[in-house]
Amino acid sequence: MKKFICTVALIATIISPHCHAQAVQPDTRKESGTADPGFSSGVKKGSFFITPYYLYGKFEKLKLISNTNTYKVQEGTHSYDFTSDDISEYNDNYKTDYSVSMVALRIGYQALEGLGVSAFIGVNHYYFRSWISDENTQSVSTLYPALSFGGAVDYEKELTKHLLILGFASVTYTTTSKVATDNSSGEDVIDSHLKWLYWDVNVGLSYKIKKWLPYGGVGFTQQFIHPVSTEQIETKDNQGNVFYNETTFDSHFRGEAFYGFAGLEFRMVQYLSLYGRCTFVNPLWVTAGLRVIL
Protein backbone atom coordinates (compact mmCIF):
# COMPACT_ATOMS: atom_id res chain seq x y z
CA MET A 1 0.00 0.00 0.00
CA LYS A 2 2.84 2.40 0.89
CA LYS A 3 4.49 1.66 -2.45
CA PHE A 4 1.24 2.45 -4.29
CA ILE A 5 0.75 5.76 -2.44
CA CYS A 6 4.33 6.80 -3.18
CA THR A 7 3.88 5.93 -6.86
CA VAL A 8 0.68 8.00 -7.10
CA ALA A 9 2.34 10.95 -5.36
CA LEU A 10 5.26 10.83 -7.83
CA ILE A 11 3.00 10.72 -10.87
CA ALA A 12 0.84 13.53 -9.45
CA THR A 13 3.84 15.88 -9.44
CA ILE A 14 4.37 15.23 -13.15
CA ILE A 15 0.82 15.06 -14.53
CA SER A 16 -1.93 17.45 -13.49
CA PRO A 17 -5.51 18.38 -15.01
CA HIS A 18 -8.57 20.84 -14.59
CA CYS A 19 -12.23 20.87 -14.94
CA HIS A 20 -13.67 17.46 -14.45
CA ALA A 21 -12.47 14.77 -12.03
CA GLN A 22 -13.68 11.30 -12.74
CA ALA A 23 -13.84 8.03 -10.88
CA VAL A 24 -13.41 4.43 -12.04
CA GLN A 25 -16.00 1.70 -11.93
CA PRO A 26 -16.00 -1.09 -9.37
CA ASP A 27 -15.44 -4.75 -10.27
CA THR A 28 -19.19 -5.42 -10.37
CA ARG A 29 -19.52 -3.05 -13.35
CA LYS A 30 -16.37 -3.70 -15.39
CA GLU A 31 -18.27 -3.77 -18.66
CA SER A 32 -20.07 -0.46 -18.14
CA GLY A 33 -19.12 2.68 -19.98
CA THR A 34 -17.42 5.65 -18.36
CA ALA A 35 -17.58 9.41 -18.63
CA ASP A 36 -15.90 12.73 -19.01
CA PRO A 37 -13.34 13.63 -16.31
CA GLY A 38 -15.45 14.69 -13.39
CA PHE A 39 -18.25 12.24 -14.14
CA SER A 40 -18.73 9.41 -11.67
CA SER A 41 -18.59 6.61 -14.27
CA GLY A 42 -20.57 4.18 -12.17
CA VAL A 43 -18.40 4.49 -9.07
CA LYS A 44 -19.84 2.73 -6.07
CA LYS A 45 -21.61 4.89 -3.51
CA GLY A 46 -19.24 6.00 -0.74
CA SER A 47 -16.06 5.85 -2.87
CA PHE A 48 -13.45 8.63 -2.91
CA PHE A 49 -11.36 9.62 -5.92
CA ILE A 50 -8.45 12.02 -6.48
CA THR A 51 -7.38 13.69 -9.72
CA PRO A 52 -4.14 15.65 -10.13
CA TYR A 53 -4.29 17.56 -13.41
CA TYR A 54 -2.93 20.25 -15.71
CA LEU A 55 -5.03 22.81 -17.60
CA TYR A 56 -4.18 25.29 -20.33
CA GLY A 57 -6.99 27.63 -21.33
CA LYS A 58 -7.82 30.68 -23.46
CA PHE A 59 -10.95 32.81 -23.63
CA GLU A 60 -11.61 35.62 -26.10
CA LYS A 61 -14.33 38.17 -26.80
CA LEU A 62 -14.73 39.41 -23.22
CA LYS A 63 -16.88 42.55 -22.99
CA LEU A 64 -16.46 45.55 -20.70
CA ILE A 65 -19.55 46.07 -18.52
CA SER A 66 -18.30 48.83 -16.17
CA ASN A 67 -15.20 50.92 -15.46
CA THR A 68 -14.29 53.52 -12.83
CA ASN A 69 -11.18 55.68 -13.01
CA THR A 70 -10.09 57.20 -9.70
CA TYR A 71 -7.61 60.10 -9.88
CA LYS A 72 -5.45 61.06 -6.91
CA VAL A 73 -3.78 64.41 -7.60
CA GLN A 74 -2.29 67.23 -5.55
CA GLU A 75 -5.65 69.00 -5.35
CA GLY A 76 -7.48 65.91 -4.07
CA THR A 77 -9.19 62.74 -5.22
CA HIS A 78 -12.01 62.36 -7.74
CA SER A 79 -13.41 59.59 -9.92
CA TYR A 80 -15.08 59.07 -13.27
CA ASP A 81 -17.49 56.26 -14.19
CA PHE A 82 -17.63 55.21 -17.82
CA THR A 83 -20.91 56.06 -19.47
CA SER A 84 -22.80 53.60 -21.65
CA ASP A 85 -21.31 55.37 -24.68
CA ASP A 86 -17.79 54.95 -23.27
CA ILE A 87 -18.42 51.24 -22.70
CA SER A 88 -19.84 50.77 -26.19
CA GLU A 89 -16.85 52.58 -27.68
CA TYR A 90 -14.46 50.25 -25.85
CA ASN A 91 -16.31 47.10 -26.90
CA ASP A 92 -16.53 48.29 -30.51
CA ASN A 93 -12.86 49.23 -30.83
CA TYR A 94 -10.87 47.09 -28.41
CA LYS A 95 -10.47 43.43 -27.52
CA THR A 96 -10.02 41.70 -24.18
CA ASP A 97 -8.83 38.16 -23.55
CA TYR A 98 -6.95 35.91 -21.15
CA SER A 99 -4.91 32.72 -21.05
CA VAL A 100 -4.27 30.52 -18.04
CA SER A 101 -1.91 27.66 -17.17
CA MET A 102 -2.83 25.73 -14.02
CA VAL A 103 -1.71 22.77 -11.92
CA ALA A 104 -4.39 21.50 -9.53
CA LEU A 105 -5.71 18.64 -7.45
CA ARG A 106 -9.34 17.52 -7.29
CA ILE A 107 -10.84 15.35 -4.53
CA GLY A 108 -14.24 13.74 -5.06
CA TYR A 109 -16.81 11.64 -3.26
CA GLN A 110 -19.57 9.45 -4.71
CA ALA A 111 -22.55 10.64 -2.66
CA LEU A 112 -25.13 8.47 -4.48
CA GLU A 113 -25.12 5.92 -7.28
CA GLY A 114 -24.46 7.97 -10.39
CA LEU A 115 -24.03 11.25 -8.46
CA GLY A 116 -20.64 12.60 -7.42
CA VAL A 117 -19.41 15.79 -5.77
CA SER A 118 -15.87 17.16 -5.80
CA ALA A 119 -13.70 20.14 -4.87
CA PHE A 120 -10.36 21.33 -6.19
CA ILE A 121 -7.52 23.75 -5.46
CA GLY A 122 -4.84 24.87 -7.89
CA VAL A 123 -2.07 27.36 -8.63
CA ASN A 124 -1.94 29.11 -12.00
CA HIS A 125 -0.35 31.80 -14.10
CA TYR A 126 -3.08 34.07 -15.40
CA TYR A 127 -2.28 36.31 -18.37
CA PHE A 128 -4.92 39.03 -18.89
CA ARG A 129 -4.93 41.62 -21.69
CA SER A 130 -7.17 44.61 -22.32
CA TRP A 131 -7.27 47.62 -24.67
CA ILE A 132 -6.11 45.43 -27.56
CA SER A 133 -6.33 46.91 -31.08
CA ASP A 134 -4.25 47.18 -34.24
CA GLU A 135 -3.89 50.94 -33.89
CA ASN A 136 -3.70 51.34 -30.11
CA THR A 137 -0.62 50.41 -28.10
CA GLN A 138 -2.02 51.23 -24.65
CA SER A 139 -2.80 47.63 -23.74
CA VAL A 140 -1.96 46.34 -20.28
CA SER A 141 -0.63 42.78 -20.12
CA THR A 142 -0.16 41.18 -16.73
CA LEU A 143 1.18 37.81 -15.64
CA TYR A 144 -0.79 36.85 -12.52
CA PRO A 145 0.41 34.10 -10.18
CA ALA A 146 -2.94 33.11 -8.72
CA LEU A 147 -4.79 30.71 -6.44
CA SER A 148 -7.87 28.93 -7.82
CA PHE A 149 -10.45 26.80 -6.07
CA GLY A 150 -13.94 25.51 -6.79
CA GLY A 151 -16.43 22.68 -6.73
CA ALA A 152 -18.46 20.45 -9.04
CA VAL A 153 -21.43 18.12 -9.23
CA ASP A 154 -21.59 15.30 -11.79
CA TYR A 155 -24.22 12.78 -12.81
CA GLU A 156 -24.33 9.79 -15.15
CA LYS A 157 -26.96 7.32 -16.32
CA GLU A 158 -26.53 4.18 -18.39
CA LEU A 159 -28.52 4.05 -21.62
CA THR A 160 -27.10 0.67 -22.72
CA LYS A 161 -24.33 -1.66 -21.54
CA HIS A 162 -21.68 0.57 -23.13
CA LEU A 163 -23.41 3.92 -23.68
CA LEU A 164 -23.86 6.55 -20.94
CA ILE A 165 -25.40 10.00 -20.83
CA LEU A 166 -23.39 12.52 -18.79
CA GLY A 167 -24.08 15.75 -16.93
CA PHE A 168 -21.60 18.04 -15.18
CA ALA A 169 -21.62 21.51 -13.60
CA SER A 170 -18.82 23.42 -11.87
CA VAL A 171 -17.86 26.81 -10.44
CA THR A 172 -14.32 28.22 -10.18
CA TYR A 173 -12.94 31.27 -8.37
CA THR A 174 -9.47 32.75 -8.83
CA THR A 175 -7.80 35.57 -6.94
CA THR A 176 -4.37 37.14 -7.32
CA SER A 177 -2.00 39.00 -5.04
CA LYS A 178 -0.14 42.18 -5.99
CA VAL A 179 1.97 41.59 -9.10
CA ALA A 180 4.10 43.51 -11.57
CA THR A 181 2.35 44.71 -14.71
CA ASP A 182 3.73 45.26 -18.20
CA ASN A 183 2.07 48.45 -19.41
CA SER A 184 2.95 49.40 -22.98
CA SER A 185 1.85 52.99 -22.38
CA GLY A 186 5.03 53.51 -20.37
CA GLU A 187 3.38 54.52 -17.08
CA ASP A 188 4.70 53.10 -13.80
CA VAL A 189 2.20 50.52 -12.52
CA ILE A 190 2.54 50.31 -8.73
CA ASP A 191 -0.30 47.87 -8.00
CA SER A 192 -2.26 45.31 -9.97
CA HIS A 193 -4.54 42.43 -8.98
CA LEU A 194 -7.46 40.51 -10.40
CA LYS A 195 -10.45 38.31 -9.49
CA TRP A 196 -11.95 35.75 -11.85
CA LEU A 197 -15.17 33.77 -11.40
CA TYR A 198 -16.76 31.40 -13.88
CA TRP A 199 -19.28 28.60 -14.00
CA ASP A 200 -20.02 26.00 -16.65
CA VAL A 201 -22.56 23.26 -17.40
CA ASN A 202 -21.95 20.27 -19.71
CA VAL A 203 -23.94 17.39 -21.20
CA GLY A 204 -22.54 14.57 -23.30
CA LEU A 205 -22.26 10.89 -24.17
CA SER A 206 -19.57 8.28 -23.49
CA TYR A 207 -19.02 4.87 -25.12
CA LYS A 208 -16.68 2.13 -23.92
CA ILE A 209 -14.37 0.37 -26.40
CA LYS A 210 -12.39 -2.12 -24.29
CA LYS A 211 -10.03 0.05 -22.17
CA TRP A 212 -10.57 3.14 -24.34
CA LEU A 213 -13.36 5.49 -23.33
CA PRO A 214 -14.11 8.27 -25.84
CA TYR A 215 -16.68 10.93 -24.96
CA GLY A 216 -18.03 14.21 -26.25
CA GLY A 217 -20.76 16.78 -25.82
CA VAL A 218 -21.62 20.46 -25.51
CA GLY A 219 -21.38 23.04 -22.74
CA PHE A 220 -22.01 26.64 -21.75
CA THR A 221 -19.86 28.95 -19.61
CA GLN A 222 -20.16 32.46 -18.21
CA GLN A 223 -17.06 34.35 -17.07
CA PHE A 224 -16.64 37.37 -14.79
CA ILE A 225 -13.27 39.15 -14.54
CA HIS A 226 -12.47 42.07 -12.23
CA PRO A 227 -9.00 43.61 -12.79
CA VAL A 228 -7.74 46.60 -10.77
CA SER A 229 -4.49 48.44 -11.49
CA THR A 230 -2.93 51.69 -10.27
CA GLU A 231 -0.53 53.82 -12.29
CA GLN A 232 1.78 56.47 -10.86
CA ILE A 233 3.05 59.52 -12.76
CA GLU A 234 5.82 61.76 -11.43
CA THR A 235 5.21 65.49 -11.88
CA LYS A 236 6.32 68.85 -10.49
CA ASP A 237 4.49 71.94 -9.35
CA ASN A 238 5.39 75.52 -10.28
CA GLN A 239 7.98 75.67 -7.49
CA GLY A 240 9.71 72.52 -8.74
CA ASN A 241 8.47 70.27 -5.95
CA VAL A 242 8.08 66.64 -7.00
CA PHE A 243 4.83 64.81 -6.34
CA TYR A 244 3.00 61.84 -7.85
CA ASN A 245 -0.36 61.64 -9.54
CA GLU A 246 -2.08 58.26 -9.27
CA THR A 247 -4.82 56.77 -11.43
CA THR A 248 -6.65 53.58 -10.46
CA PHE A 249 -8.53 51.64 -13.14
CA ASP A 250 -11.29 49.43 -11.70
CA SER A 251 -12.97 47.41 -14.46
CA HIS A 252 -15.50 44.60 -14.78
CA PHE A 253 -15.58 42.29 -17.81
CA ARG A 254 -17.98 39.50 -18.71
CA GLY A 255 -18.09 36.80 -21.36
CA GLU A 256 -20.28 33.83 -22.18
CA ALA A 257 -20.05 31.12 -24.81
CA PHE A 258 -21.43 27.79 -25.98
CA TYR A 259 -18.75 25.26 -26.82
CA GLY A 260 -18.15 21.64 -27.75
CA PHE A 261 -15.89 19.20 -25.94
CA ALA A 262 -14.26 15.86 -26.69
CA GLY A 263 -11.99 13.60 -24.72
CA LEU A 264 -10.48 10.18 -24.28
CA GLU A 265 -9.74 8.10 -21.19
CA PHE A 266 -7.46 5.07 -21.03
CA ARG A 267 -8.11 2.77 -18.09
CA MET A 268 -4.75 1.29 -17.12
CA VAL A 269 -6.08 -0.84 -14.26
CA GLN A 270 -9.28 -1.02 -12.20
CA TYR A 271 -8.39 1.95 -9.96
CA LEU A 272 -6.10 4.01 -12.22
CA SER A 273 -6.64 5.79 -15.54
CA LEU A 274 -5.27 8.62 -17.68
CA TYR A 275 -7.43 11.09 -19.59
CA GLY A 276 -7.30 14.10 -21.86
CA ARG A 277 -10.02 16.59 -22.74
CA CYS A 278 -10.39 19.62 -25.01
CA THR A 279 -13.10 22.25 -25.41
CA PHE A 280 -13.54 24.27 -28.61
CA VAL A 281 -13.80 26.82 -30.20
CA ASN A 282 -14.05 29.53 -27.53
CA PRO A 283 -13.07 28.85 -24.83
CA LEU A 284 -10.16 26.62 -25.74
CA TRP A 285 -9.36 24.53 -22.65
CA VAL A 286 -6.96 21.58 -22.85
CA THR A 287 -6.83 19.25 -19.83
CA ALA A 288 -4.70 16.22 -19.02
CA GLY A 289 -4.85 14.22 -15.83
CA LEU A 290 -4.53 11.11 -13.74
CA ARG A 291 -7.56 9.61 -11.97
CA VAL A 292 -7.24 7.35 -8.94
CA ILE A 293 -9.96 5.56 -6.97
CA LEU A 294 -9.23 5.18 -3.26
**How confident is the model over 223-276, as pLDDT tens digits?**
999 999 898 888 877 777 788 889 999 999 999 999 999 999 998 887 888 999
Interatomic CA distance for residues 216 and 28, integer angstroms:
25
How high is the pLDDT of residue 185?
Answer: 66
How high is the pLDDT of residue 28?
Answer: 37
Strand pairing report for 140-158 and 272-280: unpaired
* Residues 6 or more apart in contact with residue 93 via CB below 8 angstroms: 133, 136
Full set of structural domains in the chain with CATH: 2-293 (2.40.128)
* Residues 6 or more apart in contact with residue 171 via CB below 8 angstroms: 150, 151, 152, 197, 198, 199
Residues of the chain under the 70 pLDDT cut: 1-43, 136-138, 179-180, 185-186
Interatomic CA distance for residues 175 and 159, integer angstroms:
40
pTM of the model: 0.80
How high is the pLDDT of residue 153?
Answer: 94
pLDDT digit string, tens, across residues 71-92: 998 888 999 999 999 999 999 9
How high is the pLDDT of residue 267?
Answer: 85
Cβ contact 172:166 at 8 Å: no
